[in-house]
Structure 1
Amino acid sequence: MDDLLKHFITEAHELIQQATDDLLALERDPQAAATMNSAFRAVHTLKGSVGLFDFAPMGLALHAAEDLLGALKEKRTSIDTHAIDILLTCLGQIERWVAEIEQAGQLPTGAADEGYRLARALRSLLDEPPIQTAVAIPEAEHEWIKELFTQESRNLVGLRPQNAPIVAIRYIPRIDSFFAGDDPIALLRSVPDLLALRVKNRDPWPPAAEFDPFACNLRFEALTGAEIESVKAVFRFVPDQVVIHEITRSVESEVLGTVLNEAASRISIGSTETAGTRTLRVDATRIDRLADLIGEMVIAKNALGHLAGQISDGLDGKHLAQSLLANHAAIERLVTEMHGAVMNVRMMPMRDIFRRFPRAVREIAGQLGRAIDFTMEGEEVQADKAIVEGLFEPLLHLLRNAVGHGAEPEHLRVEAGKSAKTRIVLRALRDGDRVRVEVEDDGRGVDPATIRETARQRGISSEENLDRLSDAEVVNLIFAPGFSTASEVTDLSGRGVGMDAVRSAVERLGGQTNVRSLQGRGTTISLSLPSTIVMTKVMVVRLANELYGIPLDGIIETTFVPSSRILAIGTSEAFVLRDKTLPLLRLADLLEVPRLSVPSQVLKVMVMALGDELVGIAVDGFDQRMDVLMRPMTGILAGMPGVIGTTLLGDGKVLMILDVPELIR
C-alpha cells in the first residue's frame, strides 16, 4: 500500500468520525449553524479525497450526501430523524468500505450497486424535480451503437435480467491524456459489469518512423449491465471525452433499428478538492523531550567508553567502582525519564474511542424502540494506546446490554416515576495510577433472585455457595462463562450474554471488572485498568530455583504466615489475616509443579484481589520489585493460559509473567 493511500485511510477515518459527531449533534440541535458547517466540510473534504483514487461508488454516495447536506444547510429541506438516519447509514457504509480498502486495497464486489442505492436514497430527500435526461440522440450516434450491439448481441443473450437496460459507452481520450494524468485503460477496467469492449484507433496510424508512443490514438466503445449512475461516476473527471446511453429492451427491436428514445447522458462533475491540512498526532513537545533524552543517553554512553579506556590504562579499583556507580545512576535516571517520555507519547485520550459509541447506541436504541439519553464524561482522561483501543469491543458490548436489557419501555418508566428516557452514562476517571471506565444506567437493575435461580439451573455455582454469597456478590456472577438471563439468544439479548468475554478482554489488558446494581434503580459496571501495559511493575517470586513475575498492581500486600496458623478446610486451606479468613492457594499447585520437599515453617504469602474477594497465594520466596518491558506471548505459545508475557532479566534469563486470576479459574 502506497503512502498516499495510507494517508487517505487515516484521514478518512477522522473525517467520517467528525461528520458522525456533527450529525448526532445536529439531531439534538438542528439550528446549530457551526455544527452544520462542520458536517458539510467533513463530507466535502472526504469526497475530494476519494476523488484522488479509483473508488467511484464512494464518490457517488458522498456526492449525494454533500448535496443533501447542502440542501439542509440552505434550508431547502428540513432536518429530521429520517434525514439523519440516511446520512449516518451512508457514513457507516463508507466506513466499512474504508476498512475493506485498508485490508484488501480495493472496494468489495457489489460496491457499485450499493453506492448507487445510497445515492438514490439520499437524493430522494432532496426537494428537487428529477433531472430530465430524455432528449433525442443525434443520428451520428446511432451507427456505432448499432454496430457494437450487433457485433456482441450473441454474447449478450442471457447476461442480463429481463427488461434490464444496457448502458453503451463511447470514450475517446484526448491525445495528451497521459500527460493530463489520465489512464484510459484503467478507467475502462473500472466500469462495473462490463459486457463488451471494442478498442479502435481514432485516426489513421502514422508511419512507424513518425509514431509517437506518448500520444493516445484510441477510441473505446463498450456495453455494461451496470446502473447508469455507476458508469457516470467512473468517467466523472473526463466529461468532455465520453458519451453514455442507456438502452432499454423497447429500443432493441430489429437490432436497434428504431430511433433511440433514451437521452445521451452527460456527466456532471463535482470539485476535486484535495484533503485538508493533516495534524500531528503526537504533540511536538513530546517528541522534543525524547530527542533531548536521547542526547543525554549518548553522553552517558560516551562516559562508559571513557571508563573502559581508563581501565585499560590501569585505573585503581576504588576510583573505577565510584565512577561506574555514578555512571550507572545517571543511566538509570535517564532510562526512567525515557520510559516516562515514551509512555507519554503512547498516551491517548479516551475521547478517541468514546466518540465511536453515540452512533452505535442510537442505532441499537432505534432497533429496540428505546428512548435513550446517552452522555459521556471524562473524555480527556488518558491511557496507553493499547488500553484505549482494546476497550472498544468490551464497552460496545456493555452499552448494547445497557440498552437491550437495562432500559425499560417509556410507559413503564413514567409509571415508576422516572423520566421517559433511560439515562446511560459512559465515563472515565483517574483512580490513582489506574484508569476506571464505567457504564451506568438508571434502568431496571439486576435482580439477585433471578441471578441465583439462573446460576442454580445452569450449574454456575453450587447450592451451598449460592446461599453463602451476598446479593452484591451474586450480581457479579453475570461474568461467569455461559451465564445469561435472556430467554432468547440474540445480538441484543439480556445483560450477561457474553459478559464473560467482556471480563476476559479486560483481564487481558491487566484490568478487573465489577458490577453494582440496585433493582429498579439501575446498574453500574466498572472496569479498572492500568494506565499502561508496555512497561509493567512486577514482583519477582521464587518457586524452588525458578523465578516468576507477578504484576504488582494485582498484589494488595505481602505477609508471612506461620505454618501453624494454616487452617485445613476440607481439601482446601485458609488463614486469618486481621480477623478475616482468606482462602490460601499455593502457586506451585496452580502451575502444577512439585512443592519443596522440606516444607517451610513460615509461608511467604501474597494477598491478591480476585474480583471483590481477597485470596492468599503462597510462594517459596520474594525476590525483588522491578519495572520490566513485557513482551506478549507469540507463535505456538500465544494461547498459553495463565501467562501474560515475558521479559528478560539482567543475567539474560527469561522471566515469565503470570496471570494469577486466570490460573485460579
Structure 2
Amino acid sequence: MGFDVDEDILQDFMIEASEILEQLSEQLVTLEQQPDDKDLLNAIFRGFHTVKGGAGFLSLTALVDTCHKAENVFDILRNGQRQVTPELMDVILRALDTVNVMFAEIQNREEPTPAEPDLLAALEGYCRPETEDEAVEDSLTEVTAAAPAEPGLAGLDDSQYQQMLTELGPESKASTSAAASDSDSDDITDDEFEALLDQLHGAGKHGGAPEVAAPESEPTALDDDLIDDLEFENLLDELHGSGKGPTVTASASSEPAPAPKAEPAPAPAPAPATSAAKAADKAPAKATTHSAPADTSVRVDTKILDNIMNMVGELVLVRNRLLSLDANHENEDISKTVANLDAVTGDLQGAVMKTRMQPIKKVFGRFPRVVRDIARTMKKEINLEMVGEDTDLDKNLVEALADPLVHLVRNSCDHGIEMPEEREAAGKPRAGVIRLTASQEGDHILLGIEDDGAGMDAQKLKEIAMSRGILDADAAARMTNNEAYNLIFAPGFSTKVEITDVSGRGVGMDVVKTGITSVNGSIHIDSEKGVGTKLQIKVPLTLAILPTLMVLVGKQTFALPLTNVDEIFHLDLTRTSMVDGQLTVVVRNHAIPLFYLQDWLLKGEPRARQQQGHVVIVAVGNQQVGFVVDGLIGQEEVVIKPLDQLLHGTPGMAGATITSDGGIALILDLAGLIKAYARRYV
C-alpha cells in the first residue's frame, strides 16, 4: 500500500482521479450511443491509463490491475478490432463501479479490495480482437474432439511409467528421449532469447551479448515504426513492475532511446503513452516553442471558505445597520461613505459566494448512467436531454439536491416512460425522452424534470389515497387535479402494485419533498394523462445569506424566508369564511386556509384577534397558506444564527438573526411551523 507517501501527492492523485472517474461515467454512457466516436474512445483510454499510472506510483496493485485491463479493452476498440456492444458496456460499467469502490476505500485510507475474478476474466476476454474469439472456440473444439483418440497413458503415475519403459527395452527409451527432446523444443535457446531482445532494444543495448550486425537480407524490427504504444507499456511493466516504468528522456536523434540504467531515475511517474521514437522526435520541438502553463489554482479547505462566508455575513449585518442609521441623518459625507460601503460589501459578498459555487453538472453528471441502467433493467428505450448544466449553485445545495433529483429521475423512468410497444400503440416514438433543465432567475435556481410519458391520472391518485386512509371522499371530491398530483408526496404513497429494485416502497417522493423543503425550496407538478409530466423545483441561490420578509406579530419581529412568500394584501374580513371548521380567505376564486400567527407565536399573551393587519400568502411545499400579521417591516438579507441549546427543538424555528436596527428576530421554518400546529395542511 502506498499511503506512506507524501500526503500532498496522495491528495493530488485523489483529486485528479476523482475528476477523471466522474468524466468516465458520462463518457461511457455517451459511447454506447456514439460507438464510432474515435475521440471519445481515445479519451476513455487516456482516462483509465492516467488512473492506472497514479495508482501504480502508489503501489495500489488491485486498482492498477482493473484499470490496466479496461485500458487494454479500449485499445482494442480504438484500433477497430472490436465493436462496442451492450454486453461489453455492461462489463466496462461494472469495472468502473469496481474502480469507484476501490477509490472510496483509498479515500478512507483502506486497502482496496481486488476486483472479482469473473470480472477480470471478462475484461481479459475483451482484450483480444473479435477474430480471435472464433479462433479460440475452434481450437477448443478441435482439442475436445481429439482428446479421446489417445487413451493410453492418462492414468499412469511415474513409477508405473518407468516400469513400462523397462519392460519395453532400450528402443522405447531412445524413442522416449527423442520425444522428450522434441517437447523441449518449445523453450527458446539463449541465442534465440538474445535475438528477441535485440529486436526490442537494438542489438547489444540490453546488457546481454555484444552487438552483432544483422544480415542485410533480414532487416530488424527497428526498421519499422518500432513497437506500438500498448506493447511499449507492457514491456515497461515487465521490466519495472506494473505502472512503475521510468520516464523516457527525449533525445535529439531519431534513434530509439536506450534501456534504463541499473539505477533508474528517482521520478516514479508512469511512462508516457507514446513510443520512444515518437517522443524523441517531438519533445525537442515542443520544448523550444511552448512553456508549461502557470498554475493559477490553489486548493482551499471548505471550512476556511465557510468561515470567510460567516465573516462576510457579519459585514452584511453591519452594513444593514449603517444603512438604517443613515436614513435618520442628513449628512452627505456619511451617506456617500455608507453607499460606498454598501457597494463594496455587495461585491465582496458576490465574490465569496462564487468560491462556494459549483455547476449543477456535479449532480446532472450521474443521470446518464442512472437512466441507462434503469432502461436496460426494465427493457425500455429512454433518451436523456440535459440543458443548463453550467448553472452555478451553492456547494451545500448541490449536495442537498443530489438524492431528491435522483429519486425524481428514477420515478420518471419507472412510472413516466412507457414500454416501447405501448408507446408505439399510442402513436409515440419507441424511445421516451426525459429532459433535465437548470436556470437562474434572480436569486433563485429553477430545476425542471420533464418526460413525455404516460402522465398522471388524478382520479386514480385520489382512489389510492382514499384506499390508504390518506384522504376522505368529501376532500377528494373538492380536490383539484393539481392538488391530486401532490398526493404522491404523502408518506407511504405509491402507485406501484409490485415492489421492484427501482420503486414501489412509497418512500422516494416523501424524501424528495423533505429534502427540498429543508433547503427552503418548493416543488410544483404539472401533468397531463397520456402526454407527460413536468416537475419544477425552485431553490435559493445560496443558503449562506437568506433574503427574508420582516414582519411584526404583536411587538416582536419575525423573519419569513422570502422564497416562500407569494403575495401580500391587506386583511379584509369580508373575504374570509369558514370551510369545514377552518378559516379561509378567497383569493382569485380559490380558498386558502388562513391562520393568525399570534395564536402560535404569542401563546403567553392572550389577546383578541386583530381586525386590521396584513395577509402574507406563503407556499409551503405544494400548499398555499395565509398568515395574518400585525405589520410589515420590509425585505432584508439576514445571516442565520443557530438557536441556543435550550431552544433546540422549538417547533417552527429555523434560527435567529440581528436586524438592521440592532434587534433580534426569529427566523421561521414555515414547513415545521405548520407541521406542528396544522398537520392537515402539510
- Give me the whole-angstrom Cα distance separating, in 2, the residues matched to 1:521 and 1:319: 61
Counterpart CA distance in 2 for 1:30 and 1:279 is 35
Tell me, in whole angstroms, the C-alpha distance in 1 between the residues paired with 2:297 and 2:439: 23
Residue equivalent to 1:41 = 46
Q: Cα distance, 1:593 vs. partner?
A: 2.9
Task: Within 5 Å, give how 1:189-338 maps onto structure 2.
Answer: 236=242, 272-273=270-271, 323-338=333-348
Residue 388 (str. 1) matches residue 398 (str. 2): yes
Give yes or no for the alignment of 1:508 onto 2:509: no
Q: Does 1:479 align with 2:477?
A: no
Structure 1 residue 7: Cα displacement: 2.4
Looking at structure 1, the residues matched to 91 and 416 of structure 2 have their Cα atoms a distance apart, in angstroms, of: 27
Per mean C-alpha deviation after superposition, the further-off stretch among 63-72 and 423-432 is: 423-432
- Structure-2 change in CA distance of 1:467 and 1:79 (3 Å): same
SS at match of 1:515: strand
1:498 is matched with: 508
* Per-residue deviation, 1:611: 4.9
Secondary structure of 2:613's aligned partner: strand
CA contact (8 A) 1:448 1:471 kept: yes
State how far apart, in whole Å, the 1-side matches of 2:99 and 2:642 are: 34
Q: Is the 8 A contact 1:483 1:496 kept in 2?
A: yes
Listed one character per residue, the Cα deviations across residues 130-182 of structure 1 (whole Å, up to 9, x for unaligned) are 99xxxxxxxxxxxxxxxxxxxxxxxxxxxxxxxxxxxxxxxxxxxxxxxxxxx
Please identify which structure carries the higher strand content: 1
Structure 2 residues not aligned, in runs of 5+: 137-237, 247-267, 274-291, 300-327, 675-681
**What letter is aligned with 1:575?**
V
Q: Give CA deviations for 1:427-474 in whole Å, capped at 9, x if unaligned.
A: 223344422212211122212121011110112122211100122221
Aligned pair 1:607/2:617, yes or no? yes
Residue 671 of structure 2 aligns with an amino acid whose one-letter code is: P
Does 2:36 correspond to 1:31? Answer: yes
How many angstroms apart in 2 are the aligned matches of 1:644 and 1:554?
14
In 2: Cα distance, 1:405 partner to 1:639 partner: 37
Residue of structure 1 equivalent to 2:58: 53
**Alpha-carbon deviations, 1:509-547, whole Å to 9, x = none?**
221112222112221122122222221111122333433
Match of 1:91 among 66, 83, 96: 96
| Alignment counterpart, residue 452 of structure 1, candidates 434, 441, 462 | 462
State the 1:605 CA deviation. Answer: 2.0
Structure 2 distance, partners of 1:658, 1:319, is 32
Q: How far does residue 278 in structure 1 lie from its aligned partner after superposition?
A: 11
**Residue ranges of structure 1 left out of the alignment (5+ in a row):** 132-231, 241-269, 284-317
Question: Counterpart of 1:272 in structure 2: which amino acid?
Answer: P
Q: Find the aligned partners of 1:280 and 1:409 in 2 and give their Cα distance.
A: 50
Residue in structure 2 matched with residue 556 of structure 1 by the alignment: 566
Query: SS at the partner of 2:617?
Result: strand
Partner of 1:13: 18
* Shift of residue 39, structure 1, vs aligned partner: 0.9
Distance 1:463 1:76, change over 3 A: same
Cα distance, 1:388 vs structure 2: 2.5
The 1:650/1:78 distance shift into structure 2, 3 A limit, reads same
1:92-131 matched pairs, under 5 angstroms:
92-102=97-107, 104-107=108-111, 111-112=113-114, 114=115, 116-127=117-128
Hey, what does 1:215 align to over in structure 2?
none
User: 1:428 and 2:438 equivalent?
Assistant: yes
Which protein is bigger by CA-based radius of gyration?
A: 2
Instruction: State the shift of 1:572 in Å.
Output: 2.2
Please say if residues 244 and 270 of structure 2, whose CA atoms lie closer than 8 Å, have aligned partners that are also in contact: no
Question: Is contact 1:542–1:620 with CA below 8 Å preserved after alignment?
Answer: yes
Contact 1:517 1:524 in 2 (8 A): yes
1:273 shift after superposition: 4.9
Check the 8 A contact 1:410/1:421 in 2, yes or no. Answer: yes
2:76 aligned to 53, 67, 71, which one? 71
Q: Taking structure 1 as reference, are residues 280 and 356 closer, same or farther at Cα in structure 2, changes over 3 Å only? A: farther
Seen in structure 2, the aligned counterparts of structure 1 residues 234 and 61 have a Cα distance that, compared at 3 Å, is farther
Equivalent residue number for residue 669 of structure 2: 659
Structure 1 residue identity aligned to 2:88: A
> Structure 1 645/80 Cα, relative in aligned 2: closer, same or farther at 3 Å?
farther
- Per-residue CA deviation, residues 266-292 of structure 1 (Å, 9 max, x unaligned), is xxxx97259999986799xxxxxxxxx
Q: Which moved more, 1:539-548 or 1:5-14?
A: 539-548
Cα displacement (A) at 1:610: 3.7
The alpha carbon displacement at 1:561 in A equals 1.2
Matched, 1:377 2:363: no
| Alpha carbons of structure 1 residues 533 and 80: separation in structure 2 relative to 1, 3 Å | same
Distance (whole Å) between structure 1 residues aligned to residue 330 and residue 442 of structure 2: 42
Decide whether the 8 Å contact of 1:397 with 1:502 is kept in 2. yes
Q: Match of 1:76, SS?
A: coil
Quick check: 1:446–1:518 contact (8 Å CA) kept in 2?
Answer: yes
SS of 1:451's equivalent?
Answer: helix
Query: Identity of paired residues, percent?
Result: 32
In the aligned structure 2, how far is the partner of 1:613 from the partner of 1:319? Answer: 44
Verify the 8 A CA contact 2:404 2:512 in the aligned structure 1.
yes
Matched residue of 1:429: which SS? strand
Q: Which residue of 2 aligns with 1:350?
A: 360
Given that residues 521 and 563 in structure 2 are in contact (C-alpha distance below 8 angstroms), is that contact kept between their aligned partners in structure 1?
no
CA distance in 2, matches of 1:439, 1:335: 36
Asked if structure 1 preserves the Cα contact closer than 8 Å seen for 2:620 and 2:671, the reply is yes
Shift, 1:420, TM fit? 1.1
Alpha-carbon spacing, 1:235–1:545, altered in 2? closer, same or farther (3 Å): farther
Which residue number in structure 1 is paired with residue 536 of structure 2?
526
Superposition TM-score, scaled by structure 2 size: 0.66
Relative to structure 1, the CA distance from residue 45 to residue 640 in structure 2 (aligned partners, 3 Å threshold; closer, same or farther) is farther
What CA distance in whole angstroms lies between the structure 2 residues aligned with 1:122 and 1:37? 18
Shift in alpha-carbon separation, 1:428–1:659, aligned structure 2, 3 A: same
Which residue in the other structure is 1:188 paired with?
A: none
- Equivalent residue, structure 1, for 2:425: 415
In structure 2, distance between residues paired with 1:639 and 1:80: 55
Task: Find the counterpart in structure 1 of residue 607 from structure 2.
Answer: 597
Q: How many residues align?
A: 501
**1:330, CA displacement in angstroms?**
2.3
CA shift at 1:320, angstroms? 11
Residues 604 and 120 of structure 1: CA distance in aligned 2, closer, same or farther (over 3 Å): same
The alpha-carbon distance between structure 1 residues 489 and 579, as it changes in their structure 2 partners (threshold 3 A), is closer
Superposition RMSD in Å: 3.7
2:490 maps to amino acid: A
Query: What is the SS of the residue equivalent to 1:602?
Result: coil
Q: Is the 8 A contact 1:588 1:594 kept in 2?
A: no
Deviates more, 1:93-102 or 1:630-639: 630-639
| 1:646 positional shift | 3.5
Contact 2:381/2:432, CA 8 A, preserved across alignment:
yes
Shift of 1:386: 2.2
CA-to-aligned-CA distance 1:478-515 (integer Å, 9 cap, x gap)? 11122111113334125964211101111112211122
